[in-house]
Amino acid sequence: MTASVRAVFLDRDDTIIQNSGDLGDPDEVRLIADAAAAIKQLQEAGYRIIVITNQGGVARGKYSEDDVDAVNQRIAHLITEESGALIDRFYYCPFHPNGSVTQYACEHPWRKPQPGMLLQAADDLDLDLAQCWMVGDQERDIEAGIAAGCRTVLVRTGQPEQAGVTKADLLVATLTEAASAITGGGEGPPETDRNDVDSHTPGSDDTTVEAAGPDDQVITRLTDLHTELRAMRAAGSEFTAGRLLTMIALILVLGLAVGCALYMEPQSAVVWVVVAGVGELALIGLVLLLGRQR
């Protein structure tokens, strides 16, 4: 079943707090103006709030992991105190290839622009990355978000002069503007609204034929297919012959389902659409399996 939990990944330094250097002292934490209110807005819109931050200062011996934890706890406290919002989780990467502390002096899949922290969070919290956003002030934040399959927002809080080329979906001045855009009050309303199509409340009776007609099932299959295609594109996956054939089969089965829904008697159509749906799920599973074997 497709995960439906969505989140906003937030870079920490110069996105939530002011920090142009190495920060290991919680007493020096200063929230960026209105950051707490923006986070509250995102949380109230149903997004998990996850902070994703490179902390190469640990590898350079500037401060310890305990210091990072203390700073993060201070940030969480200040945000809650100011707006009532809660940070769901912090993820940080203490590694850096040019570090001076041996145990941290290496490259690591968690280090942005690699997407390791986002992927770990998705695994931990059952997130649907296609429904998530990555917000940060550096292009490496954007690249990490894209690599994970998220939509992205570049905020200019860290580098106000930065208005040049970016791979981000949106470029805004502040976290407040980012929150408004993500929650639908600005440019590029999230396609997450379509998530409503695929949602079932625990109490809903979706096992009966009447509760989910042929058209609904076709829409659901289309949504699953769209989600898978987004994930494949975001992962930069290669179109191997096996994946190509599987995708062609997916489209053919989908066409069969649509044809049945449109041209057959309703009772017969339901049977064929259900068969097509099972086939679609099996093929999507095969696509995912082939993707993981890369």
Which sequence positions are flagged as catalytic?
11, 13
| Of residues 137 and 143, the one with the C-beta less far from Mg ion | 137
Q: What is the CA radius of gyration of the chain?
A: 22
Q: What single-letter DSSP state applies at residue 108?
A: -
Q: Which two tokens stand for residue 229?
A: 């295609």
Which one of residues 137, 139, 143, 280 is an interface residue with Mg ion (CB under 5 A)? 137
Q: Minimum Å distance from CB 213 to Mg ion? A: 48
**Of 251-290, which residues contact Mg ion (CB under 5 A)?**
none
Binding track over 82-121 against Mg ion, x by CB under 5 A = ----------------------------------------
CA of 135: how far to CAs of 12, 61, 94, 163, 206, in Å?
A: 9, 27, 20, 15, 36
| Of residues 60 and 243, the one with the C-beta less far from Mg ion | 60
Q: Does 11 contact Mg ion by CB under 5 A?
A: yes
Which one of residues 14, 143, 177, 228 is an interface residue with Mg ion (CB under 5 A)? 14
* Coil vs helix vs strand at 245: helix
| Of residues 55 and 246, the one with the C-beta less far from Mg ion | 55
Instruction: Give the DSSP per-residue string, 215-244.
Output: HHHHHHHHHHHHHHHHHHHHTT----HHHH
Which one of residues 8, 9, 13, 273 is an interface residue with Mg ion (CB under 5 A)? 13
Q: Which two tokens stand for residue 240?
A: 């191997």
Q: Minimum Å distance from CB 68 to Mg ion? A: 14
Q: Alpha-carbon distance 57 to 150, whole Å?
A: 27
Question: How would you class 104 by CB atoms within 10 Å of its CB: exposed for 0-12, middle for 13-18, buried for 19 or more?
Answer: buried
Give the interface segment with Mg ion, choosing from 78-86, 132-140, 250-258, 283-291 (CB under 5 A). 132-140
Q: Minimum Å distance from CB 21 to Mg ion? A: 12
Q: Does 67 contact Mg ion by CB under 5 A?
A: no
| Of residues 14 and 224, the one with the C-beta less far from Mg ion | 14
Q: Minimum Å distance from CB 37 to Mg ion? A: 19
Contact in structure between 286 and 252 (CB atoms under 8 Å): no
Q: Alpha-carbon distance 219 to 258, whole Å?
A: 10
| Total chain residues near Mg ion (CB under 5 A) | 4
| Of residues 67 and 137, the one with the C-beta less far from Mg ion | 137
Q: Does 139 contact Mg ion by CB under 5 A?
A: no
Q: Which two tokens stand for residue 10?
A: 């937030």
Contact in structure between 61 and 14 (CB atoms under 8 Å): no
Q: Minimum Å distance from CB 136 to Mg ion? A: 6
- 260 Cβ contact partners less than 8 Å away, ≥ 6 residues apart: 214, 268, 269, 272, 273, 276
| Of residues 108 and 156, the one with the C-beta less far from Mg ion | 156
What is the phi/psi pair of residue 53, to 5°?
-140, 135
Give the interface segment with Mg ion, choosing from 31-39, 58-66, 98-106, 130-138 (CB under 5 A). 130-138
Q: Minimum Å distance from CB 14 to Mg ion? A: 4
Q: Which two tokens stand for residue 171?
A: 């470029």
* Coil vs helix vs strand at 258: helix
Q: Which stretches of the chain bind Mg ion, using CB under 5 A?
A: 11, 13-14, 137
